[in-house]
Chains A and B, each alone.
Chain A
Amino acid sequence: MSASKISARACNVFYGDTHAIKGVNVDIGSKSVTAFIGPSGCGKSTFLRCLNRMNDTIDTCRVEGTITLDGENIYDPRVDPVTLRARVGMVFQKPNPFPKSIFDNVAYGPKIHGMAKSKSDLRDIVENALRRAAIWDEVKDRLDAPGTGLSGGQQQRLCIARSIAVRPEVILFDEPTSALDPISTLKIEELIDELKRDFTIAIVTHNMQQAARCADQVAFFYLGELIEVAPAAQLFTAPKHPKTQEYITGRFG
């Protein structure tokens, strides 16, 4: 296992009075895929959203403990969440392209971060991102068409391209295929496999086969606690904790 990119130590999350995440310690390895699994409401999405401080937008949400990115605490008061999110991108459960053209969707991030010096620069960034998200061939002739007019799977790959275009170090996937058909799901999984060569990836999924197929490391959450974290092969074949055993054999969840 490679060196860890993100480390959470004694991480607690509260929504008002609700204790949603309870003392989680986990390391996410650099340039590998870490999957978070667990039954609905176990806090895995909440935890994922802590990793790029998307929970900041929720007024009642409070995070304790430390989460470090390359050794720096992302909840340090000196940290600007905007800078953090440029380094830790996110792909959401429901494909959410902007109601703009395909080109503008991908170009938006580079534009606001001033990454392109000229128009041709910007075009290169957009093309590169779309190629890497394996959607270039499908949309290269209609970059001016609305992003919302694509199919669900294409929209999700467009959202992945939008994330890649900002050149993050980490990409968080929040159940990226739960709204997609099996073919689109397969494409996204292949894409994730491809992307882990350059990016650190954390993915929340409901689908244990998906976790088994994609992930190098799997973390099992239950009722806000991290029950077990292990290399994928080990967790699915020889879980140490009885709860994990029950969950992966379909006894609950």
Chain B
Amino acid sequence: MTLRSKSLFAADPHIQSRKRADARFKLYGLAAILAGLALLAVLLGTVIGNGLGAFQQSYLTLEVELLESKLDKNGNRDIEEIKKVTTFGYDPLLTAAAERLIETQNIQTDLRAKDIAKLLSKSAVSDLRDFVVADTSRIGRTVSFDFLVNARVDGYLKGRVTRESIADDKMISAEQLDAVDQLVAAGALVKRFNLDFILGSDASDQRPEAAGIGTAMLGSLAMMLVVLVLTLPVGVSASIYLEEFAPKNRLTDLIEVNISNLAAVPSIVFGILGLAVFINILHLPMSAPLVGGLVLSLMTLPTIIISSRAAMKSVPPSIRDAALGVGASRMQAVFHHVLPLAAPGILTGTIIGLAQALGETAPLLLIGMVGFIASTTPETMGDALLAPNSALPAQIFEWAKRADPAFYERAWGGIIVLLVFLVAMNAVAILLRRRFERRW
């Protein structure tokens, strides 16, 4: 027997050491939580600090005279003839506009107008051409147009590019930055919110300032749609069968073990399976969200089946007994009673599966959804599913490996978009769960 203290007020050594162990354990737990929170704060801080810049872009406002002599020599506004004027034809207009800018804003510089025009993005001429082709009545007028400036100037306004860092840079000179300072002071060069980053398409290596994530977002959405349409019915039916109807024998045991194992298979394995089956055998198009969705469905199915089965298993057997006891068939017992009670769990599992699929990059590497995919916003549902596209995480990966540091900022911006997506999906999961739980 250990010594037990006679008084309730005096703790014996054994109790004291137990209390100390309790306190230590609580402390470990608290420390773990705090460490986790700190890491989360660092993560979010880094992502937001690096990525917010992508949501802002610098624009230079120029008064451009759309000379009829350059754009429509015959003056008959024939759209086909106007379309024949290439972007080179628009270059002189920009130079002239830059010249006028130097005069009107009284910019003190030794640079020629051509060098000032070089502050603009390489996509400036094509933006202007699109503007003219969209409405030919603009020809002959002088219009005020906000042009994207190139990534160096944009980076200078955001603090990423400094006078020291451009010492060896052939793309921009100190004189040009002097002019930029004056243009900013004059209010012609401004930084503002950039909707094109959220809605636009990816741009080539030379034009990071024009790159947007919108098209990749649509690619991801199309894939999620495919995954949802395929996995929810298949996954839920499979789990209903396995949980409620399947006999318990060797075969179903084997199936069960395999489903659990499939959930742990590395996603790249599903990628190479998709490449072999969907593209090489079935000849579905490369880089298409449909194929991406099919591959991600294979990956998501085990997750959904496992969570749906767990949700159904947690419905008390007494509910099934009650239904059978009043003469319901087994199917009625499942559909009237078990499924409604399991729905919150099934939905949560589905959305977690979808969120996992949304963030998956590896299988997309193998079916060609990574890389610069010069796609524009798909216009029809068929296009969205079959035209080559990228996906949010694949686009982020693509930007992160490009050379220009301006793309690095966009990669972080893409991560913010991806995180917003995930938070939104989780919010939907919580809302659905609440809604179904209210029906007790």
Question: Among B248, B316, B321, B341, which residue has the most Cβ atoms of chain A within 10 A?
Answer: B321
Please give the distance in Å from B311's CB to the nearest CB on chain A.
15
CA distance A83 to B329 in the complex (A): 9
Tell yes or no: B28 within 8 A of A by CB. no
- The closest CB in chain A to the CB of B337 belongs to A98
Complex contact A82–B320 (CB within 8 A)? no
Tell yes or no: B403 within 8 A of A by CB. no
CA distance A159 to B325 in the complex (A): 10
B337 contact set on A, CB distance < 8 A: 98
Complex contact A109–B326 (CB within 8 A)? yes
Contact A82 B328, CB 8 Å, known A54-B321, A98-B322: yes
CA distance A54 to B321 in the complex (A): 8
Q: Mark A113-146, 1 if CB is under 8 A from B, else 0.
A: 1000000000000000000000000000000001
Tell yes or no: B85 within 8 A of A by CB. no
CA distance A162 to B326 in the complex (A): 7
CA distance A112 to B324 in the complex (A): 11
Please give the distance in Å from A90's CB to the nearest CB on chain B.
4
- Quick one: which of A59, A89, A92 contacts B318, CB cutoff 8 A? A92
CA distance A108 to B324 in the complex (A): 11
CA distance A17 to B329 in the complex (A): 28
Tell yes or no: B440 within 8 A of A by CB. yes
CA distance A112 to B323 in the complex (A): 10
Complex contact A85–B336 (CB within 8 A)? no
Tell yes or no: B36 within 8 A of A by CB. no
Contact A148 B326, CB 8 Å, known A96-B319, A96-B321, A112-B332: no
Tell yes or no: A18 within 8 A of B by CB. no
- Quick one: which of A57, A99, A100, A113 contacts B327, CB cutoff 8 A? A113
Please give the distance in Å from B327's CB to the nearest CB on chain A.
4
- Quick one: which of A59, A97, A112, A162 contacts B248, CB cutoff 8 A? A59
- The closest CB in chain B to the CB of A59 belongs to B248
B327 contact set on A, CB distance < 8 A: 82-83, 85-86, 89, 109, 112-113, 166
Q: Mark B225-251, 1 if CB is under 8 A from A, else 0.
A: 000000000000000000000011000
Complex contact B320–A146 (CB within 8 A)? no
- The closest CB in chain A to the CB of B340 belongs to A99
- The closest CB in chain A to the CB of B315 belongs to A99
Tell yes or no: A196 within 8 A of B by CB. no
B330 contact set on A, CB distance < 8 A: 57
- Could you say which interface size class chain A belongs to? 20 to 34
Complex contact B328–A112 (CB within 8 A)? yes
Please give the distance in Å from B264's CB to the nearest CB on chain A.
28
B324 contact set on A, CB distance < 8 A: 54, 57, 85
Q: Which of B290-323 contact A (CB under 8 A)?
A: 316, 318-323
Contact A163 B325, CB 8 Å, known A57-B320, A59-B248, A92-B318: yes
- Quick one: which of B320, B326, B341 contacts A108, CB cutoff 8 A? B326
- The closest CB in chain A to the CB of B320 belongs to A57
Complex contact A97–B322 (CB within 8 A)? yes
Complex contact B440–A54 (CB within 8 A)? no
CA distance A97 to B325 in the complex (A): 12
B439 contact set on A, CB distance < 8 A: 99
Tell yes or no: A94 within 8 A of B by CB. yes
- Quick one: which of A82, A89, A98 contacts B319, CB cutoff 8 A? A98
A82 contact set on B, CB distance < 8 A: 327-329
Complex contact A99–B329 (CB within 8 A)? no
Please give the distance in Å from B438's CB to the nearest CB on chain A.
11
A54 contact set on B, CB distance < 8 A: 321, 324-325
Contact A94 B318, CB 8 Å, known A109-B327, A112-B328: yes
Q: Mark A159-179, 1 if CB is under 8 A from B, else 0.
A: 100110110000000000000
- The closest CB in chain B to the CB of A60 belongs to B248
CA distance A54 to B333 in the complex (A): 13
Contact A96 B329, CB 8 Å, known A59-B247, A59-B248, A146-B440: no
Please give the distance in Å from A100's CB to the nearest CB on chain B.
8
Please give the distance in Å from B319's CB to the nearest CB on chain A.
6
B316 contact set on A, CB distance < 8 A: 96
Please give the distance in Å from A184's CB to the nearest CB on chain B.
18
- Quick one: which of A90, A108, A165 contacts B336, CB cutoff 8 A? A108
- The closest CB in chain A to the CB of B326 belongs to A109
Complex contact A166–B326 (CB within 8 A)? yes
B323 contact set on A, CB distance < 8 A: 98, 108
Please give the distance in Å from A174's CB to the nearest CB on chain B.
9
Question: Among B325, B330, B332, which residue has the most Cβ atoms of chain A within 10 A?
Answer: B325
Complex contact B325–A89 (CB within 8 A)? yes
Please give the distance in Å from A155's CB to the nearest CB on chain B.
11
Complex contact A85–B321 (CB within 8 A)? no
A91 contact set on B, CB distance < 8 A: 325
B247 contact set on A, CB distance < 8 A: 59
B440 contact set on A, CB distance < 8 A: 99-100, 146, 148
What 5 A-B pairs have minimum CB-CB distances, sorted nearest first? A86-B327, A109-B326, A96-B318, A90-B325, A85-B327
18 chain-A/chain-B pairs, Cβ below 8 angstroms:
A54-B321, A57-B320, A57-B321, A82-B328, A83-B327, A92-B321, A96-B319, A98-B322, A99-B440, A108-B326, A108-B336, A109-B326, A112-B326, A112-B327, A112-B332, A112-B336, A159-B322, A166-B326
Known pairs A83-B327, A89-B326, A108-B336 / 7 extra A-B pairs, C-beta < 8 Å: A57-B320, A57-B321, A89-B325, A96-B319, A108-B326, A112-B326, A166-B327
